[in-house]
Structure 1
Amino acid sequence: MNEEREPDEGGEPEQIDLSGVFKAMQPMADFYRTQNAGLMKQLAEAVMPTERIGQTLARQIFESSGLSDRFREALEPLHEHFREQWRDLFASIGSLKDRIYPENLRDAEPKLNELKQLLLEEGIPLMWVPGPKIVRALLDAPDAVERRRIVGRRWRGIVNDCEAVASSVDHPDLLEARDFALDCVSALRAGHANPAQALAANLLDSLMHAHFEKGDRVKLTSNKKGKAKFDLNDYGVRVSLTFAPVWYAYEEFWVHKGDPIPRMFARHASAHGVSRAQYSRINAVYGLMLAVSVMKFFDVELER
């Protein structure tokens, strides 16, 4: 069953209130919800380098205006002026993408529908871990079954990626969590997948309790049957991409209601439905990825 933990004794770790942390990202989230969302999606997914987008778009607007050659010549200085502005605008969009996406996602340039499928429908973490080669393989896979097989086949590489990202965490409030994440890494390498999964599931839960106010935490983990799904548009971009798979992992599970034990990694089932159906090396890797992704999110966002 789902349980509410008592607060730990001792000093309180720093907590994040979602209402104020991501103000810098809110304009982009708002923009996605407006009638111009389609245009922004095309720009974000464009293959053309951002410095060329502005030049091309400005030229197309100018050349399609139906003006005479003489009038075009007279307007050429104005054209040059606005071309510079377009170039600066789209260069800033490219820079914004780099600030939102961690290094493992920048070369992959995933499309929004791909992100939604992997993060929200399959619960696969992609923020900070796994590494770019495995991200590319997951994006190129034809379906969810093959993606799970990729995690199973390439688990050693994913564990290496998790170790590298966990080792980079240096916020004072996260040092203990970092050490536990590295314990998960050691357990998996030593062939102790079940203890690794149990520790990863509880580490994830501990991070959520320690660094979110209760209302925000409940909203991010309220995956109840028959209720609305996690909405990527409700948060800033980085929050959405990090916590969509967390929401998936917190699928409602009640022993006394006879709920079937899920085969995919689930936090509540890991705690209250210990079984061969839930515990596996693949699920231990999923749990480790989730814990490391969330921990790195806090490492980046918490004040120092």
Structure 2
Amino acid sequence: MATALSFALPSQATLSADSADKPAWAYPITPPDFKLPPDDGKVHHVPDSSAAFTTTQLRDRFFAKDWHPDDHPPMPDIVAFGRKPDVLACGHCHRVDGSGGPENSSLAGLPAAYIAQQVADFRDGARKSSVPQRIPVALMLSVSRAVTDAEVAQAAQYFSSLKLKKRIKVIETDTVPKTYVAWLIYAASKGEGREPIRGRIVEVPDDLDQFEAYDSRAEFTAYVPVGSVARGEALVTTGGAGKTVQCGICHGHDLRGLGPIPGIAGRSPSYIARQLYDFKHGARAGPWSALMAGVIANLDEEDRVSLAAYLASQVP
């Protein structure tokens, strides 16, 4: 794609020195010297859409790319355009249908009160990240300090009214395509062969150009270790012989949410793994966080990978 948001890095990208114990596969880092290439003036298209956007429009954080307007109800202005100079369009990063991507949260179908609480937690410092140098985290922190409660309520009501669609295919495997950091996420390197999975989840877009165009219909493949889905199912449904508690007690028997508690089925395994790590290490300290920290206190990285793999395999 002419936006050329990607640049090659080693498959096992490293974190900063103070983050060396964290799973690099879940926290892709954009190098500080990264710069977007000049706008080439090209007009872009995606499958099954008559819309067309320029590179400048794709990069505009105050303009949500609405490739498929029939897929969602009318967007409030805060979702479609944000509010200059400090409040980005919610639909730019999280997509117009709330589908999000591996780099951030999918908001579709989350309780409105939960969405509003997360913005408040970012603003008040209760919600952070174990790797705060990630661009999506920095942007969310900035927006949370500038957005008004009324704007948050409008966006939260909109996204909570939407249904998250299944867009992640989970494949168990011993080897995965070699990858590189494509700005905010990992992407498969074409023609570079494969490498051992090494206990990771490798979540990549099926079509990088479509993802970089912010198409809400972009789909992803999540490669996970062999046997992880079954291990995750055991942890989710039984608590793993006392290692944790059944997820359905709080998140609903179908894992699609219960009251103010968010649904966790069918969401990005990279995102889920980051949240589990952040809960365990105190980076999330808002309401319910202490309960989550206790629930996952005895889970190691293999357990977190298995949980994320199983949840991603479910229908949202």
Q: Which has the higher contact order (CA 8 A, sep 6+)?
A: 1
Structure number with higher strand proportion: 2
TM-score (norm 1): 0.28
Structure number with higher helix proportion: 1
Structure ID, larger Rg:
1
TM-score (norm 2): 0.28
